[in-house]
Amino acid sequence: MNNIGATRPLPTRFGFLLINDFTLISMSSAIEPLRMANRICDEEIYVWRTMSESGNPVTASDGLSINVDTGIDDENALSGLDAIFVCSGVHVDQNINPEVVRWLRSSANTGIAFGSTCTGSHILAHSGLLDGYRCSVHWENISTVTDLFSNTHVNRQLYTIDRDRYTCSGGTAPVDMMLHFIQEQCGAEVSAGVAEQFIYDRIRQASDRQRIPLRHVVGNQSEKLIIAVELMEANIRETISQAEIAKYTDLSRRQLQRIFQRFLMCTPSQYYLKIRLDKAKELLQQTNTRLDDIANLTGFVSNSHFSKRFKEQFGHAPSAERKK
């Protein structure tokens, strides 16, 4: 778990600052677990309110207009809150308002904590509120935030808790972060109950990484690399050789090795092994399949060979992964 230097209690009273074009699913994924936890506990453990710059409704990226409880110019906007979560989405660079930035910086002087969903980390970093902190942001914005804000340490994790900063990526990742809050504050039984209500099969950890589509990494520079990786992903149980992959992609083995080194900084064999081990880890986390069957399903000749490679990759045995 990435609770880096956690020195204060996790928040229970939230203000969600909605930025124009915010991603509705990410904002809802942060609020709904809190609502359900209150319902399961039959107690108002969590409270929240929504806010915008002017107090007027805010339009989400899907075109829906959302009413808010207050504007940031309200002198009581921060009253009773533990944390402000910035909820942003597409076109974040076009929606950074100087008034919002000034308000966020001023709010920081009160000692309040900050969080974000989707691309909200971009706005926090722009405001200087992530200087010296680690953070998560939607995978499409990782490179932008890394390039623009050198004092912010961006990672690929689903969510990051670093002292009084609670940042997460997009989509449903806020569900996982809030379930972590709920487990810490209300117990594992309540967090599991919330997950069950939402038919949420597996609670992901902060250490889980966002999967970045390969096309986003290489763009249009190497269509043949994308084809090669797709072949690997389609042949996990019955693995295929480098010679076969090279033939399918109309490359020599040497050319195949070169494009993997250039774009992925590893050999084809190393990348293929990683794909298979990631699949094995997923099976360990999400199913009750026996270890020897998982070894077989992911193309390993024996359970001992599988266990050895898994430990080399992840630092612990497959059995320990399942226990986690």
Residue 107: CATH number of its domain: 3.40.50.880
Residues 6+ apart with CB under 8 A from 58: 18, 19, 20, 22, 52, 65, 66, 68
Assigned domain for 267 exists? yes
Residues 229 and 179 in one domain: no
Position 295 in a domain: yes
> What number is the average pLDDT over the span 64-90?
96
Percent of the chain beyond pLDDT 70? Answer: 95
Q: Which residues of 295-322 are buried (b: 16+ CB within 10 A; e: fewer)?
A: bbbbbbeebeebbebbeeebeeebeebb
Residue 165's DSSP bridge partners are: 114, 162
Of 39-53, 114-128, 138-152, least confident by mean pLDDT is 138-152
Q: Are 52 and 166 contained in the same domain?
A: yes
Q: Does residue 93 fall inside a structural domain?
A: yes
Tokens describing residue 55: 């107090």
Count of structural domains within the chain: 2
Q: Is residue 206 part of a domain?
A: no
More confident residue, 17 or 225: 17
> Which of 50-64, 112-126, 163-177, 224-238 is the least confident region?
224-238
Query: Is the pLDDT at 7 greater than 60, yes or no?
Result: no
CATH code of the domain containing 253: 1.10.10.60
Residues 192, 72 within the same domain: yes
Q: Final residue of a domain: which of 165, 197, 229? A: 197
Q: Is the pLDDT of residue 17 over 70?
A: yes
pLDDT band at 100 (very low <50, low <70, confident <90, very high): very high
**Amino acid 305: pLDDT:** 94
pLDDT of 78 reads 95
Q: End of a domain among 133, 166, 197?
A: 197
pLDDT tier, 276 (very low <50, low <70, confident <90, very high otherwise) = very high
Mean pLDDT to the nearest integer, 109-126? 97
Q: 250 and 289, same structural domain?
A: yes
Tell me what the mean pLDDT of segment 119-126 comes to: 97
Residue at 208 is within a domain:
no
State the pLDDT at residue 212: 65
- Check residue 73 and give its pLDDT: 92
Q: What integer is the mean pLDDT of 252-262?
A: 91
Say whether both 20 and 169 belong to one domain: yes
Summarize the confidence of residues 245-249 as an average pLDDT.
Answer: 93
At position 207, the amino acid (one-letter code) is S
User: Collapsing DSSP states into helix, strand and coil, what is residue 303?
Assistant: helix
Note whether 306 and 237 are within 8 A (CB): no
Give pLDDT tens digits for 127-148: 999 999 999 999 888 878 988 9
| Rounded CA separation 18/60 (Å) | 9
Shared domain check, 222 and 118: no
* Residue 220 pLDDT greater than 80, yes or no: no
104, 127 Cβ separation under 8 angstroms = yes
CB contact set of 197 (below 8 Å; sequence gap of 6+) = 36, 40
Q: How far apart are CA 38 and CA 193, in angstroms?
A: 11
Q: Do the bridges between strand 165-168 and strand 58-59 make them parallel or antiparallel, or are there none, so unpaired?
A: unpaired
- Both 10 and 93 in one domain: the answer is yes
* 144 against 120, higher pLDDT: 120
CB of 120 closer than 8 Å to CB of 85:
yes
CA angle (172, 178, 179) in 5-degree steps = 95
Tell me if 177 sits within 8 A of 3, measured CB to CB.
Answer: no
pLDDT value at position 18?
98
Are residues 102 and 71 part of one domain? Answer: yes
Cβ atoms of 161 and 153 closer than 8 Å: no
- Residue 218 to residues 53, 145, 224, 257, 269, Cα–Cα distance (Å): 38, 18, 11, 15, 19
Say if residue 105 is in the same domain as residue 232. no
The owner of tokens 């944390």 is 83
Residue 255 forms part of a structural domain: yes
The CA-CA-CA angle for residues 148, 169, 98, to 5°, reads 45
- Same-domain pairing of 191 and 223: no
Q: Are 218 and 172 in a shared domain?
A: no
**Alpha carbon distance 230, 202 (integer Å):** 26
Residue 202 lies in a domain: no
Domain limits at 68? 3-197
Low-confidence winner among 17-21, 42-46, 200-204, 208-212 (lowest mean pLDDT)? 208-212
Same domain, 184 and 272: no
